[in-house]
A and B are shown apart, each in its own frame.
Chain A
């Protein structure tokens, strides 16, 4: 069965510092990996995806993610955090048979001024 794990419930970082939100995956075959963000009282918004190609994927709002096949990880990164980045972040893997997204439990990112 396919799954993703987000080992941290919360990540705290100071504004201006780099941030990393961790995600590991377990799939059979090639992974289709995604990051979504949820701001308070809003639906999820697509940030970026990895299908194939370069291991470093660039997405919206200055975020990027690094795909690492040997470590089965897809960590979300940003070089310089903003207070407005504070939100709930979800990693997901796509089941290609049903088109279902299988989500992790989410990581709350708190950026302090």
Chain B
């Protein structure tokens, strides 16, 4: 079954404590992306990757890092989380806009 797996589903952390949200896909797609969803703002792209070792900033990259060392994994790293990064995060993969999304990670930074 085609899947995008994100972990964890829920996370509460404190300001400044580094964290990583993992994303893994089993569809062999080259393209992967991270979005955050906030009420009234829809989904906004954080980072994307066109292929292994190729990453680029989306619309709201500040405070985030990513890496793409292998095709299936695309972790999202928050080096020093702040309360304004409290949000619902989605990883996506696919091609030509027809994406499969993960189930989401609800992050709360206190």
Using Cβ atoms and an 8 Å threshold, which residues of chain B touch A43?
4, 90, 101-104
B110 close to chain A: CB less than 8 A = no
B31 close to chain A: CB less than 8 A = yes
CB contacts under 8 Å to A, within B38-71, are 40-45, 48, 50, 56, 58
> Is B48 touching A99 in the complex (CB atoms < 8 A)?
yes
**Interface residues on chain A, size class:** 20 to 34
> Is B56 touching A98 in the complex (CB atoms < 8 A)?
yes
* CB closest chain-A residue, reference B4: A43
**Interface residues on chain B, size class:** 20 to 34
A-B contact count (CB 8 A): 58
Q: In terms of DSSP, what is the predominant structure of the interface of chain B?
A: strand
> Chain B, 74-104, contact with A by CB distance < 8 Å: what is the 0/1 string?
0000000000000000101001111111111
> Is A46 touching B41 in the complex (CB atoms < 8 A)?
no
Interface stretch of the complex, out of A11-19, A69-77, A79-87, A102-110: A102-110
Contact partner, A98, options B48, B96, B99, B100, Cβ 8 Å: B48
B24 close to chain A: CB less than 8 A = no
Contact partner, B97, options A41, A42, A90, A99, Cβ 8 Å: A99
> Is A92 touching B48 in the complex (CB atoms < 8 A)?
no
CB contacts under 8 Å to B, within A12-49, are 32, 34, 36, 41-46, 49
Shortest Cβ gap from A47 to chain B (Å):
10
Assembly CA distance A99 to B92 (angstroms): 12
Using Cβ atoms and an 8 Å threshold, which residues of chain A touch B31?
99
8 closest residue pairs by CB, A with B: A43-B101, A94-B97, A103-B42, A103-B43, A105-B42, A44-B101, A43-B103, A100-B45
Measuring CB to CB, which residues of chain B are less than 8 angstroms from any residue of chain A? Answer: 4, 31, 33, 35, 40-45, 48, 50, 56, 58, 90, 92, 95-104
Measuring CB to CB, which residues of chain A are less than 8 angstroms from any residue of chain B? Answer: 32, 34, 36, 41-46, 49, 90, 92, 94, 98-101, 103-106
